[in-house]
Structure 1
Amino acid sequence: MADIVNLRQARNQKARAEQERLAEQNRTLHGRSKADRERDRSIADKAEKFVAGHRRETSGDADCPEVTPKHAAGFSDKSDA
């Protein structure tokens, strides 16, 4: 004879198994420890500061005149030699 199956319970059990499978997949894809996240964030911050410090022009300052080496303070066309 066949086993008697409650369809509501079978449907709910199947849905729970699917949710657990998706949760496991997300844990493997996105699961990182707090230390890993902070380390990556600090590395990204240091890289951004490094790049920002070496930019030739300031970002967002449209009203500032362009600063070139000839016009910058401390630079002159005369040789110090």
Structure 2
Amino acid sequence: MSNVTNLNQFRKAKARADKRVTADANATKFGRTKAQRALEEAQSQRARSSLDGHEIAPPKDDDAP
């Protein structure tokens, strides 16, 4: 007698493998993890804040003759 095979298990395993292939392709295509994006955004915000803090205010027009 032959063994009984559950076709649902094979179908689901194939679907998981296909999703994994798609996910790997997207990971190489877009390339950064969520943590890397958050770190880069924080560094950018810190640099922007630092530059804004060192900005020299333009002279006021109240003292003009």
- Shorter-chain TM range is 0.3 to 0.5
The higher relative CO (CA closer than 8 Å, separation ≥ 6) is in 1
User: Given the two structures, how large is their TM-score scaled by the length of structure 2?
Assistant: 0.45
Which of the pair has more CA radius of gyration? 1
Higher helix share: 2
